[in-house]
Amino acid sequence: MGWFSKLLLPGRLRTGPTALLPARPDPKTLLAVAQLADPEARTDGDDILAGGSRIESPVELTGEVLAKLGVPDEDRLWACRIAAEGPLPVDFFDKSLAEGIAYRLGGWSLCQGEPLDPAEDAGDPLVYLPAVPEPEEILPILAESLRHADAVDTARWPEGELIEGVVHVPVRRGRVADVYAGADVLVTVEEGHRLPPAAQTRWPYLTEVAIARVSPVARTEEAGGDAEPAGVPSGAAADDQTEDVTSAEAAPGPLDAGSDNEDASTSTSTGVGSDAEGAEAATSRNDAEGTEGTEDTTDTEDTEDTEDTDEARGALLARAAVALALADGLRGIAADSRGFQIAEAADVLPGVMPEP
C-alpha cells in the first residue's frame, strides 16, 4: 500500500461501516459468517458480496492508524470495510453486517468515526415470520417455552388476558400487532417490515414480513410508575434497560496498631538501628495488610462481574431458545438482533462462528 493510500485509509474506514478484527479472517470463515446474514452471499475476487454490500478483503492496521481511528489499547487489527453497492434490502444493513461480523470474530465495528464493541450489546433475538400469527397459533408454543406469569399487571396491560400462564395483549397500534409476556420474557410481534436477505431467500414471493422480538420483561418497579406500556410501536419495550450500579471500591480498613506494638516490644531497642529495623518491619507488614485488603476487594468485584456476565449470558440463551421454538413452530427464521441466522441458542453468544 502506497503512502497516499495509507494517508487516506483512516478516513475511508471511518466513513463506511468497518469490522475491525483481531486476526486476519480465513476467507471461508468470513464467507460462512456473511451467509448467516445473506444465504446467497458469494465471493467476488478477494471480496464478498452480501445483501447489496461489498465486504472488502482484510487490510492490516497498525497502532498508528488505530490511534487515528480512536481504537484504544490495540497494536494490530485487520479491517474489513463494508461498502454499499446499491439499494440495501433493509435500512442500515451494511452497518448491521459490520457489527455482526465483528460480534462473531471477536472484534470491533466502526461507523461514522465511532468504534463499538458489539459484544457489549447482544440485543434481542428475532424471528422472521411470513405473517402475523394468530393467538391460537403462538400461545401454545409460548406456554411451553416461557416461564409462566402468575397474574396480569393491569396497571401496565389493562387489556391483557392471562392464558395458560402467558399474558396476551392485543395492541393493533402502529406496527405492533400483539404482545405476549411470561414471567421474565416479552414477545412483541410487529408487522410490515421489509424483507432481509434471509427472508428473501425463504419467501421470494413476499414483499414484507412480520417480526417477533424476544426481549426481557421490563419490570414496573424497575422502570418506575411512568413506564410506557410494552406495546409501543417500533419495539421500544425491547430497548428498556435497567442501569447497573456498581458500588465504589471499598478503602482498606485502618491499620492494626496493636500488632505493630507487640512486634516492637519483642525486638531489641538498644539503638537507632534497632528502631529503624522495627519501623521498616512494621511498614512492610502494614503495606502487606493494605495490599491484601485491596486484593480481597478486587477479587470480590471480579466475582460479582463474572456472576453478572454469567447471568446475562444465561438470560440471552433463554431468550434465544424461545426464538428457536417460535421459528420451529411457526415455520419462521430465528436470527440475532443484527439479522444473522441462528440454528441453536449458543449461536447468539459473541465469538460463536459457523463451520466454514
- Model confidence pLDDT, tens digit, residues 32-42: 999 999 999 99
Q: Is the pLDDT of residue 306 over 80?
A: no
pLDDT, mean of residues 312-330: 96
> How crowded is residue 2: how many other Cβ atoms within 10 Å of its Cβ?
7
With beta carbons less than 8 A apart as the criterion, state whether 180 and 166 touch.
Answer: yes
More confident residue, 293 or 74: 74
DSSP readout, 188-236?
EEEEEEPPPHHHHHH-TT-S-EEEEEEEE---HHHH-TTPPPTT-GGGG
Positive or negative torsion for Cα 294, 296, 297, 298: positive
Model pLDDT, residue 296? 60
Indicate if the pLDDT at residue 5 is higher than 60.
no
Residue 80 pLDDT > 80: yes
Is pLDDT at 223 greater than 50 in this prediction? no
> Quick one: three-class SS letters along 37-55?
HCCCCEEECCEEEECCEEE
Q: Are 179 and 188 in contact (CB under 8 A)?
A: yes
Within 10 angstroms of residue 332's Cβ, the number of other Cβ atoms is 25
What pLDDT score does 86 carry? 84
Average pLDDT over residues 280-297: 51
Amino acid 259: pLDDT: 37
Label residue 88 by pLDDT band (50, 70, 90).
very high
Cell of 47: 471480496
- pLDDT value, residue 12: 58
Cβ count within 10 A of residue 271: 9
Q: Residue 236: is its pLDDT beyond 70?
A: no
Q: What is the pLDDT of residues 264-288, one digit of tens each?
A: 333 333 333 444 444 444 444 445 5
Task: Round to the nearest angstrom and report the end-to-end CA distance of the chain.
Answer: 29
Portion of the chain with pLDDT greater than 70, in percent: 70
Question: How many CB atoms are closer than 10 A to CB 208?
Answer: 14
Q: What is the residue-averaged pLDDT of the chain?
A: 78
Residues facing 162 on adjacent strands:
167
CB-based burial label for 314 (10 Å; 0-12, 13-18, 19+):
exposed
In a 3-state reduction of DSSP, which class is residue 110? strand
Beta strands in 245-335 (DSSP E): 333-335
Question: Looking at residues 155-172, what average pLDDT do you find?
Answer: 94
Torsion angle of C-alpha atoms 106, 110, 115, 119, degrees rounded to 10: -30
The band of 4, judged by pLDDT with boundaries at 50, 70 and 90, is: very low
Orientation of helix 135-145 relative to helix 272-330, angle to 10°: 150
Residue 234 in contact with residue 174, Cβ under 8 Å?
Answer: yes
- Distance between CA 13 and CA 208 in Å, rounded? 32
**237-247 tens-digit pLDDT:** 333 333 332 22
Report which residue type is found at 116. L
